[in-house]
Structure 1
Amino acid sequence: MAAPTETAAPTVTGQVPRAGDAIYHAGSRAVQDRVGVREAADHVGRSVGRGIKPVAAAFLELQPLLVAGAADPVSGAVWAAALTGAPGFVRATGPHTMSVTGGVPADDPLARALAARGTYAGTIALDPRTRRRMRLNGVLTPTRAGFAIEADQVFSNCPKYLQRRESYEYVGRTPGQARHGTGLTGAQRDFVAGADTFFLATAHGRGADASHRGGNPGFVRVTSPRELLWRDYPGNSMFLSLGNLSADPRAGLLFLDWTNGTTLQLTGEARTEFGADGERRVRFTLAEAVQRDAALPLRWAPPEYSPANPLLP
């Protein structure tokens, strides 16, 4: 649901609507029923299809950034990673297929998943300039140039909680070495606490998903070097991410610095806490962190915060 002052994103599929139970698994249904939004979820779910319509294909070809999430085929850990390229590096190559040229460094924690045929992958293409976002989930196949995903779910989200960044530029950078840890350093804790955006990757038995979380800086609380906490703001009632987490607590988080290109990838487990006040909070326990300085060759303009962002205490 879009905030009253905002315009909802355009529908990216024009297909025959899919029944709610074909879109949502038992985990999502359990959360929808607990919150009392099953009917609303079924209404929103009618916009979900398997096809990539022309408006969606045109949107993809303009993007310099794609976030992907999946489970590592060896360790099982769920990770999210950012992929970048000149517009056109992501494109629709068929009515149900999205192809990506390039990938991630060989030592990126998502590299094995992106190189494995049959990986369930979730992706989100987000354009801060227009505050539009599009999600495509499906099954991955490696290609000579990168990888392709045969879509199972294609849909757009409203611009709620998405910060506007008017422009970007490419910057010549030499990515630093990946630094691994099992607890956040002081600098990493500050990085997370000051973030206005992160990406959340989740998985379930027959799929994966990558989604966006946004708010005013401080909306993610660092309660210890190995624990984060954030409030789950009201959204479109689908509960794909929280539904996945109710069935499988594995989660991957991606924080990126929109100015200097640093990325911080976290993997661990996340669980939703339902408060008596009706609010939902997600508590994430860290298993491993990977930081890479100057990882992305993009520098974005300063943010204009979404008017939907709740005020923080």
Structure 2
Amino acid sequence: MSFHTGEIALQRQEGVDAQLGAMGPRVIRDHLPQQHRDFFAQLPFVVVGSLDERQRPWASLLTGTPGFMQSPDAHRLRIDALPEAGDPLAAALRPDVPLGLLGIEPHTRRRNRLNGQVTALDAQGFDLAVGQSFGNCPRYIQAREALPGTAASSPSAPEALTELDDDARTLIAATDTLFIASAHPHAAGSAEAAEGVDVSHRGGRPGFVRVGADGSLAVPDFEGNRFFNTLGNLLLHPWAGLLFVDFARGDLLQLSARAQVLTGTPEALGFKGVTRVLRLQVDRGWRRRGVLPLRWSTPRPSPYLEGTGHWVAPVA
């Protein structure tokens, strides 16, 4: 089966469960097609979803010279990069753990998802066995090109957060891009043993992630492929890992948040044109300043943003 019970429940609400049930096996593969193998090999960064010791997802970012990811065959991916100390991925990375990968090339608006399991770990990187591989549509990706930059020679120590401070609120309120990791439980209804891990992209106009006075975040669910991979996971395992990137400074903000999927009218949810919103209550996080060796060009907004509405979303 290509989809689990959480995904199917949301697909059924949209009346597309039969259509996607037939389509899923054709587009969600247990191997990397050649175009995906080539795609990962040309990227200078990849987003990685992992689980901590409490089975809560985190989203991280690894970088390298294009070619740092290679697929020796259709069922394997080698990544010659390791997380920095203080990144939640560093504590999670070991053989047999599940990971979710998002390969994304913003300037071409291409993205591919890979969910798999670590098979080997060494001093240079790690190997993944492919469990699922599938492409995603280019909607809501802001076109920006990754450019060589310079990471701080002595990056500041990771800053632990138990709530959003002013710097975090400012970054989130101005963002046009969010990466979100999620997981689904081994047994339906159990939130204790998360099995599969996934990481995805969300995009919108600056302000599309609304910051509440209590530190909660609200993210509108714009129309997409209606697979509901992320929201379906969150119905069963209501924890998300969030990654915000400061594309100009090379900073990373990683958050762990309890998630709730809200449905209703656009007026009640506060976002024009959407009937589903993801509410996130931040539990803890890490900020790592100047850690990325990449910077990004000025973005060209996605043309699909014209259909997503306009909101005034001040930082409370």
> Normalization by structure 1: what TM-score?
0.89
Q: Distance in 1 between matches of 2:51 and 2:243?
A: 14
Q: Distance in 2 between matches of 1:76 and 1:251?
A: 10
Tell me the equivalent position of 1:19.
none
Tell me the equivalent position of 1:311.
309
> 1:51-106: per-residue Cα shift (whole Å, max 9, x none)?
1122111111110110000111x232211100001001112122111111121112
Q: Distance in 2 between matches of 1:76 and 1:128?
A: 30
Distance 1:235 1:173, change over 3 A: same
Matched, 1:30 2:9: yes
Question: Shift of residue 44 of structure 1?
Answer: 4.5
Question: Shift of residue 226 of structure 1?
Answer: 2.9
Tell me the equivalent position of 1:238.
227
Distance 1:132 1:43, change over 3 A: farther
Give the residue type in structure 1 aligned to 2:104. Answer: L
Corresponding residue to 2:68 among 68, 71, 89:
89
Give the residue type in structure 1 aligned to 2:277. Answer: R
Unaligned runs of 5+ in 1: 1-21
Give the residue type in structure 1 aligned to 2:39. Answer: F
Tell me the equivalent position of 1:171.
150
Matched, 1:299 2:295: yes
Give the residue type in structure 2 aligned to 1:295. Answer: V
Corresponding residue to 1:158 among 137, 156, 161:
137
Residues 179 and 202 in structure 2, CA contact (< 8 A), matched pair in contact too: yes
Residues 218 and 312 in structure 1, CA contact (< 8 A), matched pair in contact too: no
Residues 151 and 292 in structure 2, CA contact (< 8 A), matched pair in contact too: no
> 1:211-255: per-residue Cα shift (whole Å, max 9, x none)?
000011000000135310010111101001000000000110000
> 1:14-64: per-residue Cα shift (whole Å, max 9, x none)?
xxxxxxxx1111111111112222134235422110111221111111101
Question: Shift of residue 195 of structure 1?
Answer: 0.4
Tell me the equivalent position of 1:57.
37
Q: Distance in 1 between matches of 2:23 and 2:143?
A: 24
Identity of aligned residues (%): 37
Give the residue type in structure 1 aligned to 2:304. Answer: A
Tell me the equivalent position of 2:281.
285
Unaligned runs of 5+ in 2: 186-194, 267-273, 312-316
Give the residue type in structure 1 aligned to 2:285. Answer: A
Tell me the equivalent position of 1:128.
106
Question: Shift of residue 142 of structure 1?
Answer: 3.5
Q: Distance in 2 between matches of 1:237 and 1:44?
A: 12
Q: Distance in 2 between matches of 1:142 and 1:188?
A: 35
Tell me the secondary structure at the aligned position of residue 177 of structure 1. Answer: coil
Question: Shift of residue 198 of structure 1?
Answer: 0.9
Distance 1:304 1:44, change over 3 A: farther
Residues 136 and 151 in structure 1, CA contact (< 8 A), matched pair in contact too: yes
Give the residue type in structure 1 aligned to 2:64. Answer: G
Q: Distance in 2 between matches of 1:140 and 1:250?
A: 22
Matched, 1:215 2:215: no
Distance 1:172 1:183, change over 3 A: closer
Tell me the equivalent position of 1:8.
none
CA RMSD of aligned residues (A): 1.4
Tell me the equivalent position of 1:99.
78
In the alignment of these two chains, the number of paired residues is 290
Corresponding residue to 1:143 among 121, 136, 142:
121
Residues 151 and 250 in structure 2, CA contact (< 8 A), matched pair in contact too: no
> 1:255-300: per-residue Cα shift (whole Å, max 9, x none)?
0011111000000211100113561000001110100101110011
Corresponding residue to 1:269 among 249, 258, 264:
258
Q: Distance in 2 between matches of 1:234 and 1:141?
A: 36
